[in-house]
Amino acid sequence: MLSREDIEHLATLARLELTEQEKEVFPKQLSDVVGFIKAVTEIETTDVARDFTNVNTMRDDVARTKDNAEERERIMGEMPEIEKDLLKVPKIL
């Protein structure tokens, strides 16, 4: 289990100011987190396929001009300024 001194040292490194109550509670909580991480790292993963990053979970990037024409008109109608069919916003720089 992490000691109170360990928690104070970690708080200093993270530039956190902890209350006395937090200094009492955090050693147990952080020890539980470290224990959980240790348990996860011990899980056997040799039979797990590592090629899971090639799965595309994103939608197709397709322009939908006909589907949302009514919505576009509604938004354009709510804008205070429109220039050349574009929304005009104030400069910020």
pLDDT surpassing 90 at residue 14: yes
Average pLDDT over residues 47-75: 73
CA 62 to each of CA 57, 86, 88, 89: distance values in angstroms, whole numbers, following the listed order: 15, 20, 25, 26
Whole-number mean pLDDT of the chain?
84
pLDDT-above-90 percentage for the chain: 35
Query: Which tens digits make up the pLDDT trace of 65-79?
Result: 666 778 888 888 888
Please report, for the chain, the start and end positions of each structural domain, with discontinuous segments joined by +. 4-41
